[in-house]
Amino acid sequence: MHVSYFTRSFHIKGNNLIQLTRASFSQNPQSWDTSSKIFSCTTYHCTHSPVSGSVWQPLTHRTHQPAASSRCMSSTVRRRRPPSAFPVIDGEFHPVHRHVYEANLRNSLICQQKYLENKEKVMKGGGENAIARHTLRNRKVLVRDRLRMLLDDEDYLELSSFAGLGLPYGDIPSAGCLTGIGKINGLWCMFIANDATVKGGTAYPITVKKQLRAQVVAMQNRLPSVYLVDSGGAFLPLQSEIFPDSNHGGRTFFNEAVMSAMKIPQVAVVCGSCTAGGAYVPTMSEEAVIVHRIGTIFLGGPPLVKAATGEEVSPEDLGGARLHSEVSGCVDHFAAAENEAYEFTRNIISTLNYELPEEDSAQVEEPLYNVDDLMGLAPRCYNHSMDVRLVVSRLTDGSRFQEFKARYGTPLLTGFARIEGHQVGIVANNGELTYEASLKGSHFVQLCDQRDIPLIFLQNTAPEPAHTFSQTKAESNTNRLKAQGSMMSAVACASVPKITVVIGGCHGGDSYAMCGRAFDPNFLFLWPNARVSILAPGHSDAFVQTEEEITQINEMLEEESSAFFSTARLWDDGVILPQDTRKVLSKCLKIIKQQEYQLSREKMRTPFLRL
């Protein structure tokens, strides 16, 4: 818990001095946490002593802690926003745009094809043989079917589904572990579910990275988390890239403890092996469920016992469901079958202390323009970018947008809008991030921070940095540098939620100011046409000497800047189709908002300890 500020005031009443203290707290500086004010009132009484003169002694001290949900809609008081009728933006295409639109559309269709192929690939998990081993021999349910049993519906937000594809050490579908956010009994929860059809659910470096990212998302957005554990532990041939470093396997357990101390509930379902490090996942969770004949927890399995002691022991006797629920107490619920385990988990989630608002039945205005047009607006390269207002007009409620500083720093578009009823501030590139554009960006970001309005960044940054070929250019670049530095500071320090969608280029310093990955947005998604690299392909001429070097660097940039290359390495939270952007943004905004409804989050605690 971080104290933002204290204010004190004093009032004299008769012989008493009353001190009022107000404190503004935020749970996590990175998260958009409703600031709750603790208001304490101390009354001092004045006595006079001949030795020490006036002495003020405390008479009473009261601390009032308003309920965490004080800003939520209560059942009796319905709140309403002041009416707003932001102007509708012109989202019409002009005939002159047609050839650009068509070129973009052709490129987007190719990218969409790649997206669909990848999707098909990850749906197959570890392949036919592994699926047969998992279901027929091991009698376990496939991971996506497990999610069907656990979650309310299939309307969940899967994160980084293409992570792990095409890595130097092979194709690891879904990085061997599905992560995402779905509803359990109406509550958005993070799920982290091993896919044991991918090499026995063992952890590759990319698996560890994906699990850690899921925990960070859970922390930033205060999401209850459910682990479906079915893993053979570390993938041994790559142990040096999984075990020793700070952001390697051990971090998962460190995060579990920190999340617990932050009062983020965690539940584990042991629905397969929990071997070696994996054994700590259930034992560090607040509650754990184990499935009979399927779930096992041990640091070293039967082969290790045999090698060490010569004793032959079955997995069930060494660390099965009966042992851990009846003898060791490592788990809390014994489930006879998988479906029972997910039923237990759903019930556990319903014991968490949340007070969710009534479903809002207010009609949401759809954009006036077709979201499918976004395929033709997704730039195939920087000079095929059209006015970003055309994109905004297909994302916001009623295509409405209250522009801020419309005539100043025009290469950056800033303004307010609603997305499925959620008020947001939009910051969108509409050209290079100039001096004026950066100043405008800083101003607008601070404005949203002041008003607690989440920020949406639509990123399409310039393909290369501005060159310094003359004195005048050098001066203008220096000024621009300072203004961009200010914008970066404003973005980094804004404590509102931030969501970044890379709709075109993500290059160089401009991408930092536009809340790139290093600036910790709550979520970052890429459109399939997006390019992520320090320079865009074809723009390296000024930086290397020979033709051969230029060709080499450009080929490398071409390959490495693709959205699929990026997402395979988990530099984002996934690739989304342009036409799905509004739905995804709306879901993220709902997910982020849920933290306001947790009633039991105020007290700072030590992590939960299983004794």
Binding site for ligand COA (CB under 6 A): 133, 138, 199-200, 202, 232-236, 273, 275-276, 301
56 vs 169, beta carbon nearer ligand COA: 169
Pair type for strands 505-506 and 531-532: parallel
Closest by alpha carbon to 131, among 187, 185, 195, 49? 195
- Which residue in the shown chain puts its C-beta closest to ligand COA? 232
First to last CA, the chain: 26
249 vs 504, beta carbon nearer ligand COA: 249
Is residue 237 classed exposed, middle or buried when 0-12, 13-18 and 19+ CB atoms within 10 A define those classes?
A: exposed
297 vs 395, beta carbon nearer ligand COA: 297
Element counts in the chain: helices (H) and strands (E): 18, 20
CA distance 54 to 48: 5
As measured in angstroms, the least distance from the Cβ of 166 to ligand COA is 19
As measured in angstroms, the least distance from the Cβ of 125 to ligand COA is 12
301 vs 505, beta carbon nearer ligand COA: 301
As measured in angstroms, the least distance from the Cβ of 199 to ligand COA is 4
**Residues 6 or more apart whose Cβ sits within 8 Å of residue 48:** 54, 55
241 vs 541, beta carbon nearer ligand COA: 241
As measured in angstroms, the least distance from the Cβ of 575 to ligand COA is 28
What is the torsion angle, in degrees rounded to the nearest 10, for the CA atoms of residue 349, residue 352, residue 358 and residue 359? -30
**Residues 6 or more apart whose Cβ sits within 8 Å of residue 538:** 463, 554, 557
**Residues 6 or more apart whose Cβ sits within 8 Å of residue 440:** 404, 405, 408, 409, 412, 414
172 vs 288, beta carbon nearer ligand COA: 172
Residue 355: how many CB atoms within 10 A of its CB?
15
**Cα-flanking dihedrals φ and ψ of residue 388, to 5°?**
-65, -15
CA 300 to chain centre: 34
Q: How many residues does the chain have?
A: 611
As measured in angstroms, the least distance from the Cβ of 208 to ligand COA is 13
7 vs 314, beta carbon nearer ligand COA: 314
Residue 112 amino acid letter: Q
As measured in angstroms, the least distance from the Cβ of 611 to ligand COA is 26
Residue 367 amino acid letter: P
As measured in angstroms, the least distance from the Cβ of 139 to ligand COA is 11
Pair type for strands 422-429 and 455-459: parallel
As measured in angstroms, the least distance from the Cβ of 333 to ligand COA is 22
150 vs 276, beta carbon nearer ligand COA: 276
**Residues 6 or more apart whose Cβ sits within 8 Å of residue 509:** 465, 484
272 vs 504, beta carbon nearer ligand COA: 272
As measured in angstroms, the least distance from the Cβ of 198 to ligand COA is 8
